[in-house]
Every structure is written in C-alpha cells, then in structure tokens.
Structure 1
C-alpha cells in the first residue's frame, strides 16, 4: 500500500512524503525501517522510505505499473459468462486487448463464437456454451476451460443477466423466478465453481472476480422490480464473497452500470430511455466499453487494495 501526503516544515518549503507499507497480519512485528532518503530540487524536498515485504507476501504493483509483460494480464485466463453480446462482449474485447486469454461462455454458443472473431490473439481464445442457471452446465464449462488452458481461469467476469418490464402486480411466478435464476443464482453457481477450481488447483490460487450488478440494485425502478431485486442481491453477494475469499487471495468486486446501450436496453420504451437520459447529468446512455474499462481495472493489480467495492458507472444517474 502506498501512502502519499504532504508536510510543512516551519516556514520552509513544502515537503512531500511517500512511504511504502507492508501488507500483512497482526501477527507480524515491524522490522526496523531504513533511514529516509531526501532529495531537493530547489523548491520541494522529497522523502522516500521503502521496505521489502516478507517472503511469500509481495507488495502490490505500484500504481500505474503494467504487469506482467504483454499487457495488464499477460497469460492469465479469464472466463466471461454471457460474453456473446453487450457488456460481456465489450469486456472480452478490452481484456483481450490487455493480453488476457479468454474463455467466452454464453447460452448462445454462436454468439460466443462470434465474439471470438472480434478479439485479438487468434486461436488462444475459446468459446463454450454455458447455462448459468444449471449447475451441471456451469461445472462442465469450468472443466472445459481448465482443460483448454491447462489451469483453471484466474479471472472471472459475471455478466449474465436478463430483464423483463412488468409491474410487481402483474409479474407472475415464472417471470420472477427466471430473473432471479439468471441474475443472482447464476452468479452464485459460477462463482462457486470458479473459486473451487482455482483453490483446488493449489499452485497459485490468486484471482479476481468482477460481478456486473446495476445501479437499480440500489435505487429500484418501476416496471423492473424483479431485475432491481436481483441486482441488489448481486451487490450483497459480492460483499459476502469478498469477505470469504479475500484471505484466499481472490478479490471480489462489482460494477453498477446505469442504462447502457446494449440489446437489453432495446427492450425499454422510448419514454423510459428519454426519462433516464434526462435524469443523467451526462445526458446519454453509457457505452459497453465504458463499463468494460472499469471491469478491466478491477481485475488488474492496479486495484489490488479494492475488495468488496461497488463501483458506479452511471454518467451521474442517481448519485
């Protein structure tokens, strides 16, 4: 972790202090710190104090550092449920650009295969059909990913989701259950299979998960009761998983998009779209790529101290 601050020495020049701290537990005793090193440029005095981390617990990459070589993710493999369209496809494109090897899953295999044609990296990426509502389908897809990559995926983006517009008074049991099964149960099943396969591997369990929730999980919305409730559940599930998995070196965070220009948004009426834009300070829908860039950040070592965070990508809606 890096602490940055500033001090004022009497009436003298402004002093900027940067200090690198250890990540660890309460069981550690603090070793003797090295002497500070001062540098002057005639205006500022800068003090740097750095310390090596104990064996087995490396400090995170410095802010802005790109690691490993070849992009933010190097050879790390990433599973992207519902990567066949919308935000999922945009995540695949951004992650492939950053060097990740993609396992694109979707209930529509042809859509997943089409995503592959849009990715840099050619044959290193694979597509597989997966129904996030079905445990056997999820486990089979995870095994396929592990076999193809010679190791379980270490990064996961949970972005499968459905929405149906209906008043609570008009929604039937089947409609409600489908939304919960895809949007909430699906994340539970995929996260469980992902974490189990990664931890069972034993070699290097370090990983990261990003769940796609929604700002409506915080605010609710008329005609979208089931969707809003399911996304509120995703927010809570994210924090629970984050608390349980952080000690196992798996970080879990989520993104809360506003209304994004995807096939899902096409189901909204013109009145809903215009009202949403009116309530959004930027005055427009978001682009899938704008969400995907945040997802890539949360998966990378640049966000190494973020756990259980819910990042809003809304254009200012409901802030």
Structure 2
C-alpha cells in the first residue's frame, strides 16, 4: 500500500506540530518545514528555496499550510507598510508559493489534499490586528478560488478558521487582546492544538471527498457564518 506523504509548514510548533504528530500517528510519512526546528529548514516566502525542497523530498500528496505570523498588535493608523508586507508575504504569498510548488505533482497523480490555515480573524476582523485579519481573509478567498480551479483534478483544497488556540504564536499577543478574543468564544475557553489536528487529519484524508474550496470553522461556537 502506498504510504502518503504530508508536508506541514510551520510544523516546528503549535498547530503545525500537533497536526504533524497526529498524521504520523495515523501512519503517514510527514515532513515538517519551518525556519528552524523542523525536518526541513526553509522560508515559505522564498519560492526558490521551496523548489529545492521539492527536489530533495520528492512527491507530496498532502500539503498543510500552517506557517504564519501574527504581525503588529496595534491600531491600523500606527502600522507601517513594511509591517504589512511582512505579514502578507508570509501568510498569503507563503501559502501561494507552497501551492504553486507542490500542487502540480498532485494534479499529475490525480490525488491530493491541501489544507490552508486561516483564522476567525479573517472572517470577523480583530481590532488592533488589521494586517493579520486582512491576510487571513485573503487566505480564505484564495482557497475558495483554487478549490474551484482544481475541482475536477482530484486535488481538494480547503481552509480551516480556528479561533484562539494555546500555541506559542499567541504568547506575544497582548493579554487584553487575548482576553477579548477568548471572550468571544461561547465555550469560554481557548482551543487545544490536538483539536485542530483532528480536523486537519480529516481534510487530508479520503474521508473527505465532496468538499473543496470550503471553510471549516473550529471556534468553540464563535463562528456564526
């Protein structure tokens, strides 16, 4: 039986690491990619580096785009163009780059799964996190577009929109912002990384077959649309 290979970006910590662990537990070959601390060291904003990774690791059946940055935690009017570019480069173009590099092989083989990570911020817009919110809104729209483009290829492309989770990425989020966004969750708690991993594992499998370009909320009840 062919063992499928999954590439998890941002796989060194947080939701990416939890996802990588669960996929390994389910018997997949998993390669993590991150700036450091992962199986492969690369920057998702560097397309040439990603192409070199592709040459080294061979075919990829499942792509999980978990790499991301929060960016500046301040009002829009206090942000700079450089800060915006950094957030959009990593969160949007980083996702675009990995798809452009690894999805063609999936199309050739007639099977593939792409799971992109967005955020509830991309739906609701979190105050004082405009660049992050805008970037995640872009990932949602990107996924919807590509899902339609690849709908008959055997490659399914979906996006998850987590609310707040206990990850290192949120360690730098100010306590008042964290309290605000946790307060929006009807379950009154933040999520656990393994809860996201379960949803990703489903979307990366044959268990999903008629869903593409779709948005999957995992928000403890916060999502209303």
Secondary structure of the 1:143 match is helix
Pair 1:176-2:84 in alignment: yes
Separation (CA, whole Å) in 2 of partners of 1:267 and 1:105: 22
Secondary structure of the 1:252 match is strand
2:94 maps to 186
So what's the TM-score if we normalise by structure 2? 0.95
Q: Which has the larger radius of gyration?
A: 1
- Superposed counterparts of 1:119-268, under 5 Å: 127-146=39-58, 152-164=59-71, 165-199=73-107, 202=108, 204-268=109-173
Secondary structure of the 1:301 match is coil
2:27 maps to 99
Which protein, 1 or 2, shows the higher relative CO under an 8 Å CA cutoff with sep ≥ 6?
A: 2
Pair 1:83-2:11 in alignment: yes
1:293 maps to 198
Deviations 1:158-191 (A, max 9, x none): 0110012121101111111000000000000100
Q: Which consecutive segments of 4 or more residues in structure 1 shift more than 6 A?
A: none
Unaligned runs of 5+ in 2: none
Q: Following TM superposition, by how much is the alpha carbon of 1:198 offset from its aligned partner in structure 2, in angstroms?
A: 3.1
Unaligned runs of 5+ in 1: 1-67, 69-73, 113-126, 147-151
So what's the TM-score if we normalise by structure 1? 0.68
Structure that is richer in helix per residue: 2
CA contact (8 A) 1:81 1:130 kept: no
CA contact (8 A) 2:165 2:190 kept: yes
Question: How many residues matched?
Answer: 223
